[in-house]
């Protein structure tokens, strides 16, 4: 279930989570369904904080160099008072703590990385409206930002694959400070899924030492 947007999740993303859950179960983990730590109702809190985060100092003469989306976020952030920001941060932390209680019995959380496997090139900005760009980003990625706020360690793992052979990620998140368990489980999941050394043909068609192991710095003409 998306956490920051009421957005349908692509079947390939759901299938990737189901596969990861099955692999973890087979490896000996107890996998259970739990409610999302936060839901779309918390989005207005995130939205306001994002606006304020865009207010990093920029010389006035350089404002025109910023992307339209950045200028939009800064304009909205400038309208927010210190009192409103303080109250919002307090409410957001309260919501995070409630979410932590709901998942307190879990060592790790598993969900999709994104709501869709890929976004077409130019899709975010194609409407020409920075507000629409921002909303499309929220709907495309309604999971990851939650863990930016909680501080929980997270890793995206390419467990799934589309019909076209493109990778589909799942997001595995651990408890705050429990990075070791997260990394160990991620390595276990990598091993159980057969590894991730999968590349398109064009990847190996170039004379690259990193890709083909042909010697560092070697170039072919």
Q: Would the CA dihedral through 194, 200, 202, 203 be positive or negative?
A: negative
- What's the pLDDT tens digit per position in 119-163? 989 999 999 999 999 999 999 999 999 998 888 999 999 999 999
Residue 203 burial by CB count (10 A; 0-12/13-18/19+): exposed, middle or buried?
A: exposed
Identify the three-state secondary structure at position 146: helix
pLDDT at 212: 60
pLDDT at 201: 75
Q: Would the CA dihedral through 36, 193, 200, 207 be positive or negative?
A: positive
For the CA atoms of 90, 180, 210, 196, the dihedral, rounded to the nearest 10 degrees, stands at: -90
Residues of the chain with pLDDT under 50: 215-221
Closest CA to 168 of 20, 3, 4, 1: 20
CB of 48 closer than 8 Å to CB of 113: no
pLDDT at 207: 72
Instruction: Sketch out the chain's domains with CATH numbers.
Output: 11-212 (3.90.1300.10)
Q: State pTM to two decimals.
A: 0.85
């Amino acid at each position: 279930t998306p956490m920051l947007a009421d957005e349908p999740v692509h079947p390939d993303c759901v299938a990737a989570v189901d596969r990861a859950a099955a692999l973890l179960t087979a490896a000996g983990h107890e996998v259970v369904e739990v409610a999302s730590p936060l839901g779309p109702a918390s989005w207005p809190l995130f939205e306001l904080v994002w606006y304020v985060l865009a207010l990093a100092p920029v010389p006035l003469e350089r404002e025109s160099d910023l992307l339209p989306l950045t200028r939009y976020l800064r304009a909205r952030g400038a309208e927010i008072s210190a009192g409103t920001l303080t109250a919002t941060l307090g409410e957001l932390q309260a919501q995070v703590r409630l979410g932590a209680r709901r998942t307190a019995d879990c060592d790790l959380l598993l969900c999709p990385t994104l709501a869709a496997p890929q976004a077409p090139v130019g899709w975010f900005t194609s409407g020409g409206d920075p507000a629409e760009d921002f909303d499309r980003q929220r709907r495309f990625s309604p999971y990851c930002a939650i863990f930016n706020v909680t501080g929980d360690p997270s890793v995206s793992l390419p467990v799934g694959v589309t019909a076209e052979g493109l990778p589909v990620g799942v997001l595995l998140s651990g408890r705050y400070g429990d990075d070791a368990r997260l990394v160990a489980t991620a390595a276990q999941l990598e091993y159980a899924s057969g590894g991730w050394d999968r590349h398109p043909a064009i990847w190996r068609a170039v004379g690259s030492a990193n890709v083909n192991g042909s010697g560092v710095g070697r170039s072919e003409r």
